[in-house]
Structure 1
Amino acid sequence: MTATPSVGSIQHRAISVVMASQVFSGAGLAAGVTVGALLAADMLHTASLSGLPSALFTFGSAGTALAVGRLSQRSGRRAGLTLGYALATTGAVGVVLAATLGSVALLLVSLLVYGAGTATNLQARYAGTDLAEPSRRGRAISSVLVATTLGAVAGPNLVAPIGRAATSFGIPALAGPFALAAIAYAVAGLILALLLRPDPLLVARERQVTAPVAGPRAGTGIIAGAATMVLTQLVMVAVMTMTPVHMQDHGHGLQATGLVIAVHIAAMYLPSPVTGILVDRFGRTPVAVTAGLTLLAAGVVSATAPSESVPLLIVALALLGLGWNLGLVAGTAMIADAASPKTQGTVDLLIALSGAGAGISSGFVMAATSYATLSIAGGVLALAVIPFVARSGRRA
């Protein structure tokens, strides 16, 4: 007779498998972020639309977040996450073909589908919470997020060599990183499809482990968590999207841009273990407030940094990534405390839509004003997190 695995052993296996997949999906995610705006500017022959890829990524992410959440609710995390990475792989291949053929229409459609990778990468964090005790949810979330760092940091630094290799096959240099993304997302999906067994969400449902709380407090927690993640996503996407364009306008090459984005993405994920401990020890609300203040600091530094100063841009983008990380872990813990996978997907839909709005408007804002204005406006907007989470803290 085979012994039934304990909840602890299933949780440990689920975390390990999801972390392995996140290493690859992080590389796929970072590749498009680094060169998407530059590829669009090159193919559309205008910098004012360079925020369009980010908007399409996030619109695609929005639809996928809802689909992955609903499929996960019905069939488990493995089914939902595998579908998301399959779509992302298809989108990445489409971007490579579009750039090679010079097809703007195919590029726009493919960028939309490629956005599935962003949603799936984020939805994977909930797989770490399905079997986690409430007092350890912050650390469970952070374990999944930090695994993204390895691929996410490597991705931007591979932009230049992959671009050179792509040209030898007749592929434009800026499309090369999307070929890497296609491979990375495919591997991530295969890892989950083959190894995420038993499914942590289905086990949690079967054994009634760590069910979300109900009642007014739950509703308040969902609002606070959603507001935290929506606002931090909006600010982060707006400033991050325009940084490569700002750097290119002031004579910086792909290598310098890749370095700045690599540090930014590292700051988005690498602090996760510490953030998780802070969320579990001091609570969701204090960490969410700190996220808003950190994003304000990022806006001030990026707005005042001399255009020729790569070190100061690195500091600004590191703060931007850190503020996003604090907001994401705190907000996710609030949602995991109170919401089902379907609601989790709906919240991620709102996050994606806010990022889409930020991505598409950031180019117009910078063209009409300046990178400094965009940065400082984002920092001030991030402070809106505070009243939302303060209300939640009082109710709790």
Structure 2
Amino acid sequence: MASHLTAPRTAARPDVTSIQRRTLRLLFTTQIIGGIGVTIGIAVGALLAARIAGTAVAGVAQSAGVVGAALLAVPVTRIMARHGRRPGLVLAYTVGAVGGALVVLAAATRWVPLLFLGMLLFGGGTAANLQARYTAVDLAEPARRGRQLSLIVWATTIGAVAAPNSAALADRVTTGWGLPPLAGPFAFSAAAFVLAAVVLLGLLRPDPLLTARRLAATAADPSPAADATATAVAAEAPADGGPTRGGATPAAAPAGVRAPRGAGMWAAWSVVRRQPAARLGIAAVAVGHLVMVAVMAMTPVRLGESHADADVLRLVGIVLSLHIAGMYAFSPVVGWLTDRFGRRAVILGGVGLLLAACAVAGTAGHHTPRLSIGLVLLGLGWSGTMVAGSTLLSESVSAGVRPSVQGLSDLIMGLAGAGAAVVSGFVMQFAGYPVLTLLAAVAVVPLVALALRPVPTGAPDEEG
């Protein structure tokens, strides 16, 4: 009789492995499309802003996209918390497409306020790409969370490499259609965002976050219907996300199928304040991004101090390409290390690489090969803090509040990056590049202290 009672419930359970495999394939594809959309616009954004509004505000226009991505994380993750990942990602890409269209219109009318509004909304594409990495781990097996999150981060490499080389082609094509010079790449960006939104709207089913909540609710049921798969997906998470026996990490904390009311930024902040692992995850992502942006943003200026104008653009392209390779190309390896050795260990490794990057770049003088090595190390350090910090954050909070906490993390990260970009310019002007790298190195000290801080008594910690 018991088997007849439990069989329907067990049979109705979703095939988690199949859903996760389908979700990863879909996210990998849309991440490439979205990455092309973001990068092809950014490649000419400063040039277009300088042509419309002048060189002095070109950097501010670029920063508007960063701030837009940070601010859009708030409504996007609120929608995710209430309705799932699919509508949130679709909204973010749609807003990015509207922003791209407004930038094109601003280029045609030469209306500066419209340009800033368009760049602000254009950040929706970045917001969607950032949230995709969290979507990848909603249903991930505990021992594979780091690798699957890093796989989606790695997909960005394809778009980041292909898009800048396509900007000139897009500009030539759209100029023939009557669009102003440098507006064409943003038209292509808008089209890419629309395509990504349509693909996700039609194919991201079932929603991975809603499925994870259903599994968590089932696992919380003490009846025999809560089988081993549900328990593995929804068991209580450790405070540090470290490996258990065999290298696996415990799964995410259980939560109900529906998000709790008021699961917004204030609720997210309340959860983060009570959870040391969540604080470490957010700090790792934000500090790593701050240091990376501060040093990377002023590296072209540093190169311009010692090279003729004819050589600067070529050198900047080479150095920044190596930097981007450091950020994304090795993220699958970083993800494997995160699963194998634990989140905290990889965060500390990323911090070590950031410090090494600051030391190498800051003492390189005008030696371009050594500066290039410093920028590669900078990208690798960013990858370590981003992948391990994001993985730790995702598994340290319950499914009900997870999207809001992840949105809070992206908000803090974006604002930290935008602030670093602004401040680095002043430091570069008044103190120079070596002082900038020294201050960037000092900025990681609080993160080191937080990562080395013992877990409070009674809180679970790493076993390995």
TM-score for both structures, normalised by structure 2: 0.77
Distance in 1 between residues matched to 2:41 and 2:304, nearest whole Å: 16
Q: Secondary structure at the match of 1:158?
A: helix
With over 3 angstroms needed to count, the CA separation of the structure-2 counterparts of 1:196 and 1:63, relative to structure 1, is same
1:144 and 2:152 equivalent?
Answer: yes
Tell me the CA shift for residue 202 of structure 1: 1.0
Deviates more, 1:275-284 or 1:238-247: 238-247
Tell me the CA shift for residue 161 of structure 1: 4.3
1:367 paired residue number: 429
Letter in 1 for 2:435: T
1:59 and 2:67 equivalent?
Answer: yes
Aligned pair count reads 394
1:21 and 2:77 equivalent?
Answer: no
Which structure: greater helix fraction? 1
With over 3 angstroms needed to count, the CA separation of the structure-2 counterparts of 1:134 and 1:393, relative to structure 1, is farther
1:226 and 2:235 equivalent?
Answer: no
Distance in 2 between residues matched to 1:163 and 1:246, nearest whole Å: 29
With over 3 angstroms needed to count, the CA separation of the structure-2 counterparts of 1:319 and 1:246, relative to structure 1, is same
Tell me the CA shift for residue 50 of structure 1: 4.3
Map Cα deviations across residues 185-236 of structure 1 (whole Å, 9 max, x no partner). Answer: 2222222111111111111111215347479777000100011011011112
1:235 and 2:291 equivalent?
Answer: yes
Deviates more, 1:282-291 or 1:244-253: 244-253
Tell me the CA shift for residue 383 of structure 1: 4.0
Q: Kindly, what percent of the aligned residue pairs are identical?
A: 43
Tell me the CA shift for residue 166 of structure 1: 5.2
With over 3 angstroms needed to count, the CA separation of the structure-2 counterparts of 1:216 and 1:253, relative to structure 1, is closer
Aligned 8 A contact 1:62 1:351 in 2: yes
1:276 paired residue number: 335
Aligned 8 A contact 1:141 1:276 in 2: yes
With over 3 angstroms needed to count, the CA separation of the structure-2 counterparts of 1:317 and 1:185, relative to structure 1, is farther
1:154 paired residue number: 162
1:8 and 2:70 equivalent?
Answer: no
Aligned 8 A contact 1:33 1:241 in 2: no
With over 3 angstroms needed to count, the CA separation of the structure-2 counterparts of 1:7 and 1:273, relative to structure 1, is same
2:3 paired residue number: none
Aligned 8 A contact 1:51 1:242 in 2: no
Where does structure 2 lack aligned partners over 5 or more consecutive residues? 1-7, 217-229, 241-273
With over 3 angstroms needed to count, the CA separation of the structure-2 counterparts of 1:141 and 1:108, relative to structure 1, is same
1:135 and 2:143 equivalent?
Answer: yes
Distance in 2 between residues matched to 1:313 and 1:29, nearest whole Å: 26
Letter in 1 for 2:349: T
Distance in 2 between residues matched to 1:239 and 1:215, nearest whole Å: 34
Tell me the CA shift for residue 365 of structure 1: 2.9
1:391 paired residue number: 453
Tell me the CA shift for residue 368 of structure 1: 3.0
2:321 paired residue number: 262
Map Cα deviations across residues 239-297 of structure 1 (whole Å, 9 max, x no partner). Answer: 33334455567424555444433332232222111011100110111111111121222
1:379 paired residue number: 441
With over 3 angstroms needed to count, the CA separation of the structure-2 counterparts of 1:158 and 1:115, relative to structure 1, is same
Choose 1 or 2 for highest CA Rg: 2
Where does structure 1 lack aligned partners over 5 or more consecutive residues? none
TM-score for both structures, normalised by structure 1: 0.89
Aligned 8 A contact 1:38 1:244 in 2: no
Deviates more, 1:324-333 or 1:386-395: 386-395
Q: Secondary structure at the match of 2:140?
A: coil
Deviates more, 1:322-331 or 1:293-302: 293-302
Letter in 2 for 1:15: L
Distance in 2 between residues matched to 1:39 and 1:376, nearest whole Å: 33
Deviates more, 1:343-352 or 1:31-40: 31-40
1:329 paired residue number: 387
Aligned 8 A contact 2:70 2:413 in 1: yes
Aligned 8 A contact 1:295 1:324 in 2: yes
